[in-house]
Structure 1
Amino acid sequence: MHKFLVLISFILIQYAASANSLKLQKLQIEYLTNPLGLQEQKPRFSWSFKSPEDGVFNQKQAAYRILVASSAGVLSKHIGDVWDSRWENSSETLNIPFNGKELLSDRSYYWKVQVKDERGKLSEWSAPALWSTGIIEAQEWKAKWIGSDILFDPSQKDCNIPDPWLRKEVNLTQIPNRAILHLSSVGFHELYINGHKVGDDVLATAVTDHTKRARYLSYDIAPYLKKGKNIVGIWLGTGWSIHGPYVSDHRPNTPIALAQVSFYSAKDPQLTEKPFLTLITDDSWQVKASPSRLLGVWDSNRMGGEHWDANLEDSNWNLPNNLSEGWKFATVYQPKLKLSAQQVERNRLQQPIFPVSIEDLGNKTYRVDMGVNFAGWIAVKMMGDPFQEVDFSFSEREQNTETFGLHSRYTFNKTGKGTFKNKFNYSSGRWITIKGLAQAPTLKDITGWLVRTDFQKASSFSSSDSLHNWLQKTVNWTFENLSLGGFIVDCPQRERLGYGGDAHATAETGMLNYAMGAFYTKWMEDWRDVSGTESIVGNMYDPTFARHQPMSGRILNNGILPHTAPTYMGGGGPAWGGIVVTLPWYFYEQFGDTRILKENFQLIKNWISFMDENTKDGLLQRFGGRWDFLGDWLWPQATAEGMNNDSPENLCFNNSYRVYNLRTAAKIAQTLGYANEAQTWAQKADAFAEIIHNRFYNSHDHSYADGSMSNLTAALLADIAPVALRKSIFQRLETEIIQHKKGHIHVGITGGALLFKLLRAYNRNDLLFTMTSQTSYPSWGYMKENQATTIWEMWEKDLPGHSLLHSSYLYPGAWYIEGVGGIKSPKNGYESFVIQPPGANETTLTFAHVNYDSPRGTIQANWSRENGFLQLNLSIPPNTEALLKLDSSEKLRSHPQLQLQHEKEGKLTYKLKSGNYKFSSN
């Protein structure tokens, strides 16, 4: 009996130890989960840990071991025949580089990880994960670029190119167990095998500078294949293939595709196994016009939509034994494009959107209210007269039938029945006017979908205030609607351009609300691609250039940047190109990843050199044309003019921003160990700051230039003022907000992003809460009062030609996580961080619940105040620690795991190890 009790005790102890050990989750490679088609020879591994169990504290990783195997079977035996890292004594869980055998193209690799905790106890092995390689070396590509022989005619009102079908018959003597097809396109594509669409992605590939690069995606087609005849079909969409800046002598102005697939007998081929057949695109493929074509010409206000002609439908086009007429051999092209794997999430349909009402306007015309402004697809079941055309018009504004030229068309066949659904374009708006129906549609006949890059949500927020809940929800909804294609656009309906200036208003909001590691890595590659090129809109140095031209050997060095990437077009100023400095730094602060700093360091050096060459007497001078030296943009009552002029306030703002850029660049150089650049840039920043201060400082009221919020903010954030004056200047900014503007914000895109950055750094939640709580013009609450469902381009609603779904004012999205939730100041990807909820007098909120899925695990910061008592529910992920900062008036009751670090100047600082906590104040 005694032995039995001892045995039971031992089992219980072992069970408890097992229950309390670290539990691995979210295995990723290059910020992606189980990606297909990576092109990295040294991919980086990351993982995090599940939230701690109650009563378990101070869990740490002491060591890790990674196994990489050539097959799932080998990995299941705990063998790493491709790489066994052995036990590495390290607490690191992020971006650990592969260091095994050379990776081969077109292979799958399987991996898992095990860790030791702070007691040396082994965790269970993680669930297995995998990735596949794409075509790693350029010479391994054997495929040729193919398409139709119809080229875009820009003189036409609507695009003249029918979206082409491409097909190839392949006869298989056996069913392959492995067949990964690598497919690139200029323009959009869909892949079909024997009539079945492969994958659930849409509008592939991600948007890319098609003067230099094309991205490819990898698809597992083995499940769709059969012995004997098979048809591989590619459906091309025109899209970005005719975007004006991408027109090049070496590339046809038409959609083209390139594909390659090797067929293997084994599911996991060993390193020496050869494919039994390889298929490539070449001139033996056939091409035919499909029923779809682009309406519009893929230009500002002419993005149009799609025309679907049901009379051209052919359900057998991608099936064996298709005997239909009209097929001919494809045309082979030879563009000079670098092929790169698309290492960012694909575009996918998100949650369905259903209409809320349909109004009969008479004359076979109906107006549909979708209930929310969104960018994406629609599907409409319809009844009409045979061969009748139906027109769809999309509008953001209830009083307009159509905004920004967005419209689509459907032509019935002889049956008079059909369904219109987007394929290679998308619309943006809330109201749809449908003209030409013989029978009224019902609510159940119509569905919409948001379409976006399929990154994961990383945060949740709720509070006691409905306005702030609405604002955070609407900011996030707007951000999602701007993210289609692996970059953030200004607006999805009018221009679809990747403005650098607007990125200041979205970047930190994006990183604190979504898992954006792969996304921003890709977008920075786009900025490197477009560097050394002048803007199209600006025609900066030679107005005879109709399109961009490389600046090398001309007036300026290669540091010049267009104002958008990868799209080139659009106006901007120093803060637009300056995103190549600030975005990598924000990324590093968030993820602790130095690679993005290294990859873009030369880009940063070139940009600083460009600004230096436009400096006179210590001040950055206006360069370019009318649209190339914008300062802050779209502040209230600016009527779209903003700081787009030669006024002193514009010169002050842009020079202050330039100093902010320099100081950020110096921090980047210091982080990378480049002491010379760090010292040079810091000294330049100090010298330029002194010149700006002497030129623009108003001593009578401690302001700069015109005394605007934008210039006060930029001067403070860039440390323009001498230290002794900064307190007075900040008090002047506070006066501007509270007294002069009655608690309202009065900035635009860049000025607003900098203002929120400054006030978050100063921990001035009171000022941020005041501005975000207003309901009269100008404010976000004013948008809500005017039935907005997305954030507008301007603080004004009814100025013609401006978007009601825009990137301008999304900067509160970061504050709700960092300020209201108090989750801030991360170091090394949240290995340590601060939790600092707003003080009792900083907001009128009675509670806020915030979860943030950090790179190292989920952080929970829930707080409430009732009858003067503060309640805190906190979760600190394993392998991390936090500093909890509170006002001295809210000193916490004693807790076994609560360690007071210090009390200073009315502030308490506690040190918290990992674990779940419930605290209350005395």
Structure 2
Amino acid sequence: MRRTKNILILLLFLYLPWAVFASRIVDVSSSVVPGNARCEYLINPKGLDELQPRLSWTLRAADSSAFGQKQTGYRILVASTESGLKLNRGDVWDSGWVNSSEMQQISYKGKPLVSDKIYFWKVSVKDQKGKVSGWSKTAHWTTGLLKPTDWKAKWIGTDQIFDPAQQDCNISDPWLRKTFTLKAKPAKANIFVASVGFHEVYVNGKKIGNDVMAPSVTDHTKRARYVAYDIASELKAGKNVIAIWLGTSWSIFGPYIVKDRPNTPIVIAQASIYANKNSITLSKPELVIVTDETWKTHESPNKLLGVWDSNRMGGEIWDANKEVLNWNTTACDETTWDKAVSYQPKLILSAQKIEPNRAFDEIKPIGIVERNDGSYRVDMGVNFAGWTEIKVKGNQGDTIKFLFSEREQNDITFSNHSAFIIGKTGQGTFHNRFNYSSGRWITIKGLKSKPSLADIRGWLIRTNYKEATTFECSDPLQNWMYDRIKWTFQNLSIGGYIVDCPQRERLGYGGDAHATCETGMFNYHMAAFYTKWMEDWRDVQGTESIVGNMYDQNFARKSIMSGRIMNNGVLPHTAPTYMGGGGPAWGGIAVSLPWFIYQHEGDTRILDKNFELIKGWLSFLDLNTKDDMLVRFGGSWDFLGDWLWPGATAEGMNNDKPQTVFLNNCYRIFNLRTAAKIARVLHKNKEAKQWEKQAEVSSAAIHAKFYNTDDHSYSDKSMSNLAAALLGEVMPENLKPVIMKRLENEILVVHKGHINVGITGGAMLFKVLRDAGRDDLIYAMTSKTDYPSWGYMKANGATTIWEMWEKDLPGHSLLHSSYLYPGAWYIDGVAGIKRDSQAPGFQRFIVRPPLLTATQMEWAKANMESPAGLIKTAWKRTADGLAMNISVPPNCSAILQLREDEADITDKSKYIKDLGVKDGFRSFELASGNHVIKTKKI
């Protein structure tokens, strides 16, 4: 027996070096190398509750000078242990060799997944010659609690209940803790934490992870999202303590008030602790820690200022006299702590399948001025939404106030303020935890001596999605716009949805989403973010928007236009936040956003999951049609058309004019046409035919009523209505070029190259012009420096994009989602990287240098990490022609579209195929690889 064992050991010893050598040979011989592994769009995600998670990867060329690299097959291994995966044992799933070029959203088809477990995976591919690549680097995901019955914990909180009648919040952000004993340091321990209100998790005094303001924002009338934390490394043999700090925040948000949930922050948490490595494979852990009445609670020194309502978001106040040393360690004396209170809210518990919030881009002040009233004015140099840290000194009991403002002439805007009460040491540091401010200037009151620049710091807070794209061009104004649009977008993305503004409302408007979503997709990895936001829209369907003070006695689903539950497919204008005004283009994001995600990512699951949402929305619009046209419905804030166009406040933004009826009808038709495309992808032909027919009938009706034959315009002849007509394709086919020519005249002649639309009309306009390749018209509007324009904002000292085109109108935001739509054009227009509508997901894409002259723009370049791999474009116009560098990722192809007068390629390659002329362009198919192309004018 021993001899046999020794022989096996010898064989293994001889085999392993050869196996390593062989794997290296395989890796070198293949033309492609898989990498960039993602699961459900995330890198090594924790706590997923998806039973069939999707796996994705991209390819890198083994030889960067080669061309034509392709994937012809793949093999995925999923293992229960990392050591098993290293031995190429897919004991959970071995897909076997699949003959396919697919790299995105490959659904897991292995053994049923188990709760609270880690799964390791990797992929190998075959190239165009059938040669096998090496394995990708090991990736992993962990599961959450996959069944409701897996949860044994209770919801707990305190007996402090929020009183909305108060000017500021009356309850403290509570501490909760549980002490327990372990026989040995554990090998594995994950804790799953869902809270209504923000939370932080501590183990033996140490904060777990770098996340802030967790979890992502969610409709707490229906759902709570849990976050998974690995706490094994912080646990020890002997006495331990798990502590949770709750932040009031969304727990008191008016639209989330329901009878079964208290108006106070609550939490549910569960940790399974395994004593040693061998026990990891067992079904039962050594110890399970759950939240229940045995947990202890105490007031923290932190409290919300304000009441978490529009214009009353406030900030935070820290009372250093209430600090408790070692509150989250085993040394803390719990004898004076109260017992936690258990609650029974009716909430779905689901995993947070999105990147967490993080702190980014430390911001340092550029100046401090002492004023005559004894206050100090701090200039942070840039408008931002996030956290501040300020060191203070004084006498015990002194209250130091911090007032935040977007405007240099105002001490405070939108009631953004925080405070610090000094304790017995006479000094301290204010630091945000469960709220954030927004502004550029800070007025500090109550200090007796001037702070130094080093005493003050700030950070942008946003969802931790990754940047996908870099861009630069020869035009300094366009570079400034691109940079400020991206900065503004980041400042709007706290908590897994895009807010209209971070300082005043923090609402997730669907209409504003049209102005931001494609900018987001072309510049960041946003798929998980938008997938989560679509779940929010599904959650809120069936309820009207809430307009007005959410703490009125008639609040919440009782009086007309205060959130009635209608269950007829209606959508509020914001999600997951319910509040705010809007119109059909706001709820219509339920159709548009899934389609944009599908086009960008090739994701059919996003279409399928939201199909019933789409059907419900369109059926609601059907209830409000007459003579095949949409008619005004709802209250005064429910049928908005364009919003915040130049001079809108003087004209009356919430108007009842015919042009609003026309624009909303065009948007409905755009929704119908888009929904029909979605139905075709899903092979739902019945719905596709119905929506296609409705679109044609309604187009004929709206055209007959609103078309102006004298000048080929619509309704009031405005820029927004011309764009709406083209977006909805309401005109007969032969009139499309005529209407586009009329739009061109409206931009260049009537408005002398200036933009004359708002949020909704602007999103429509830029979408129409981008799709039509009218870079010249977009450039005309984006190159202006006088009112109204982005250049006008720059000339007036803007560091973020404003809510309105006008300067300093009282009450409007200087950090807003209104006009971010050029952010997509810089990539798919100026850089020329366009999606191919016939090949979603970028495995085939279009490259079209912009239709601009060298005097308008001499050169541009961009790198974009598309879902299918890294795309690079760089072009430069010269007197002789066009010089281009185009990098096509492995397993992809590009269609280069050039104007006929500059389509003579001087250095033809066998990897460039001439496809002929179509729609005024000569097209060429580019194989994967790095292409250097020069043309000469004909």
> Cα deviations across residues 185-223 of structure 1 (Å, max 9, x unaligned)?
000000000000000000000000000000000000001
Shift of 1:558: 2.1
- Cα shift at 1:267: 4.4
Give 3-state SS (helix, strand or coil) of 1:806's partner.
coil
Matched, 1:255 2:269: no
Conservation of the 8 A alpha-carbon contact between 1:147 and 1:255: yes
Mean alpha-carbon deviation: is it higher for 862-871 or for 387-396?
Answer: 862-871
Alignment equivalent of 1:626, drawn from 613, 616, 636: 636
The worse-fitting range, judged by mean Cα deviation, of 820-829 and 133-142 is 820-829
Any idea what the Cα deviations from partners look like across 1:284-328, whole Å, max 9, x if unmatched?
000000000000000000000000001111121111131266411
**Would the aligned equivalents of 1:657 and 1:714 in 2 still touch at CA under 8 Å?**
yes
CA deviations on 1:616-663 (whole Å, 9 max, x unpaired) are 122211111111110000000001866522211111111111111111
Deviations, residues 879-900 of structure 1 (Å, cap 9, x unaligned): 0001111123322212333222
Segment of structure 1 superposing worse, 124-133 or 644-653: 644-653
Pairing of 1:621-770 with structure 2 (within 5 A): 621-639=631-649, 644-770=654-780
1:274 positional shift: 2.1
User: Which AA in structure 2 matches 1:450?
Assistant: L
Q: Within 5 Å, give how 1:839-878 maps onto structure 2.
A: 839-841=851-853, 844-878=856-890
1:454 to 444, 456, 464: 464
Q: In the alignment, is residue 307 of structure 1 matched against residue 317 of structure 2?
A: yes
Match for residue 151 of structure 2? Answer: 141
Instruction: Report if the CA contact (8 A) 1:634-1:640 is conserved.
Output: no
Number of the residue aligned with 2:906? 893
What does 1:318-333 correspond to in 2, within 5 Å? Answer: 318-323=328-333, 326-333=336-343
- Is 2:254 the partner of 1:240? no
Shift of 1:511: 0.5
Paired residue type of 1:413: G
Contact 2:29–2:131 (CA<8 Å) still a contact in 1?
Answer: no
CA distance in 1, matches of 2:444, 2:515: 35
Q: Aligned match of 1:565 in 571, 575, 582?
A: 575
Instruction: Say if 2:22 is the partner of 1:34.
Output: no
Match in the other structure for 1:902: 916
Q: Measure, in 1, the Cα distance between the counterparts of 2:219 and 2:354.
A: 15
Once the two structures are superposed, the pairs formed by residues 424-823 of structure 1 within 5 Å of their partners are 424-537=434-547, 545-548=554-557, 557-639=567-649, 644-823=654-833
1:80 aligned to 2:90?
yes
Distance 1:588 1:528, change over 3 A: same
One-letter amino acid of the structure 2 residue matched with residue 609 of structure 1: S
C-alpha displacement at 1:825, in angstroms?
A: 2.6
CA distance in 2, matches of 1:640, 1:532: 34
> Counterpart in 2 of 1:833?
845
Structure 1 residues 344 and 41: alpha-carbon distance in aligned structure 2, compared to 1, 3 A threshold: same
CA contact (8 A) 1:634 1:641 kept: no
Letter in structure 2 aligned against 1:234: I
Displacement of 1:554: 8.5
CA distance in 2, matches of 1:840, 1:773: 12
State the alpha-carbon separation in 2 of the partners of residues 114 and 766 from structure 1: 45
Q: Residues of 2 paired with 1:273 and 1:687: CA distance? A: 60
Distance 2:181 2:59 in 1: 48
Q: Name the CA distance, whole Å, in 2 between partners of 1:250 and 1:855.
A: 43
Q: In structure 1, what is the Cα distance between the partners aligned to 2:691 and 2:302? A: 54
- Tell me the distance in 2 between the aligned counterparts of 1:387 and 1:17: 68
Identity of aligned residues (%): 57
In 1, the alpha carbon distance for the partners of 2:504 and 2:650 equals 15
Task: Name 2:929's counterpart in structure 1.
Answer: 915
For 1:83-141, what per-residue CA distance to the aligned partner results, in whole angstroms no more than 9, with x for missing partners? 11111111110000111111100001111111111111111111101110000000110
The whole-number CA distance in structure 1 between the counterparts of 2:792 and 2:825 is 19
Q: Structure 1 pair 799/279, CA: closer, same or farther in 2 (3 Å)?
A: same
Q: Distance in 2 between matches of 1:808 and 1:664?
A: 23
What is the CA distance between 1:78 and its match in structure 2?
A: 0.7
Provide the C-alpha distance between the structure 2 equivalents of 1:547 and 1:31, rounded to a whole number of angstroms: 36
Q: Decide whether aligned partners of structure 1 residues 478 and 272 sit closer, same or farther in structure 2, where only a CA change above 3 A counts.
A: same
Q: Do the aligned partners of residues 454 and 550 (structure 1) sit closer, same or farther apart at CA in structure 2, a change above 3 Å counting?
A: farther
Post-superposition shift, 1:859? 0.3
Count of aligned positions: 909
Once the two structures are superposed, the pairs formed by residues 401-416 of structure 1 within 5 Å of their partners are 401-416=411-426
Residues 905 and 128 from structure 1, CA distance in 2 versus in 1: closer, same or farther, beyond 3 angstroms? closer
Q: Provide the C-alpha distance between the structure 2 equivalents of 1:104 and 1:394, rounded to a whole number of angstroms.
A: 48
Q: Measured at CA, do residues 283 and 904 of structure 1 come closer, stay the same or move farther in structure 2, by a change above 3 Å?
A: closer
Unaligned runs of 5+ in 2: 1-20
C-alpha contact (below 8 Å) 1:394/1:402 kept by paired residues = yes
SS at match of 2:892: strand
User: Which letter does structure 1 place at the counterpart of 2:934?
Assistant: S
Question: Do the aligned partners of residues 745 and 589 (structure 1) sit closer, same or farther apart at CA in structure 2, a change above 3 Å counting?
Answer: same
Letter in structure 2 aligned against 1:884 = L
Contact 1:551 1:557 (C-alpha < 8 Å) held by counterparts = no
1:272 Cα shift? 3.5
CA–CA distance in 1 between the matches of 2:279 and 2:925?
Answer: 51
Q: 1:656 to 1:643 in 2, by over 3 A?
A: farther
Residue type of the alignment partner of 1:546: F
2:310 is paired with a residue of what secondary structure?
A: coil
Task: Tell me what 2:101 maps to.
Answer: 91
What's the secondary structure of 2:891's corresponding residue? strand
User: Which whole-Å CA distance do the structure 2 matches of 1:204 and 1:622 have between them?
Assistant: 40
Equivalent residue, structure 2, for 1:339: 349
User: Do the aligned residues in 2 keep the contact of 1:632 with 1:642 (CA within 8 Å)?
Assistant: no
Secondary structure of the 1:23 match is: strand
8 Å contact kept, 1:488–1:498: yes
Q: Which one of the candidate residues 115, 118, 123 is aligned to 1:113?
A: 123
Structure 2 CA distance for partners of 1:570 and 1:843, relative to 1, 3 Å: farther
Q: Aligned Cα RMSD in Å? A: 2.0
CA distance in 2: counterparts of 1:907 and 1:251, whole angstroms: 61
Normalising by structure 1, we get a TM-score of 0.96
Answer yes or no: is the 8 Å Cα contact 2:30–2:126 preserved in 1.
no
Please give the alpha-carbon distance, in whole angstroms, between the structure 2 residues aligned to 1:431 and 1:631: 34
Q: Distance in 2 between matches of 1:614 and 1:291?
A: 52
Amino acid aligned to 2:454: K
Task: Provide the rounded CA distance (Å) in 1 between the counterparts of 2:26 and 2:322.
Answer: 67
Higher mean alpha-carbon deviation, 157-166 vs 69-78, is at 69-78
- Distance in 2, matches of 1:554 and 1:781, equals 43
Structure 1 unaligned runs (5+)?
A: 1-10
Give the drift of 1:51: 5.3
Bigger shift: 610-619 or 507-516?
610-619
Alpha-carbon distance between aligned partners in 2 of 1:260 and 1:267, rounded to the nearest angstrom: 20
Distance 1:287-1:390 versus aligned 2 partners, 3 A rule: same
